[in-house]
Amino acid sequence: MRYRAVFLVLVAGFLTLSCVRTPSECVPRAGCKVTSNVLAPGSYEVVFVATQGSKAGHSTTGKLVLRASTLDDVSPRTGETVAESEHHRLYGSIEFDFSEVGAPICIDNTVAPAPNSTDPVYPGVLVHEYSEEKGGVCLWIGTILNLRNDLRTGVIGKDGPGIVLFVHCLTPTEFSGTWGAAGIGTDGSGYFCARWKSSH
């Protein structure tokens, strides 16, 4: 599957890179220690920096909101509930100009949720929490894998748009790491830093 292959390549290539967030910039550095194993819900300011692609050297800032999820979540648009196999602790939405860093996001895609979708069954952001051996914490943005209904079973192996954020540094108030394409829609990639701002 294309998603799995891209996931493994990005994890292998980026595990040694992390970054810290300051009020004015996001700077990569090595050796950042993880002081928390839990990504907290809330509102975050996120800085994305592109190191590759058509916008290499550019950066942009946006807002990420993470919310706690349950198997009782219902889509306000379709009335669908979450499939039993699709329970994730956190979902959310994100707003910023992806074109500024060349992120391969397709806003008009008819299958993958838009990044700013707040629908718990069709979330713009879905947090996957794996063991460290399998990649740790990842945030999938605007991808087919964000679907939490029964339709996901039929599209899991297909290519599509979106990006993945790989978390390499996680503290109670911020997290950071690297980002890249989730599927075949490649362009930009780089690193990011997120700082907790409020509980929503």
Question: Domain of 131?
Answer: 2-23+31-198
From the centroid of its chain, how far is CA 108?
A: 18
Residues 146-173 pLDDT 10s: 999 876 545 554 567 899 999 988 888 8
Cβ distance 181 to 104 under 8 Å? yes
Instruction: Give the tens place of pLDDT for each residue, 84-94.
Output: 777 789 999 99
Q: Residue 29: its pLDDT value, please?
A: 61
What's the DSSP call for residue 54?
T
Q: Is the Cβ–Cβ distance between 164 and 141 less than 8 Å?
A: yes
Q: Is the dihedral of CA 24, 30, 35, 39 positive or negative?
A: positive
Domain count, the chain: 1
Contacts of residue 140, Cβ cutoff 8 Å, sequence gap at least 6: 125, 126, 127, 128, 146, 162, 164, 182
**pLDDT at 10 exceeding the cut of 70:** no
Beta bridge partners of 66: 42, 92
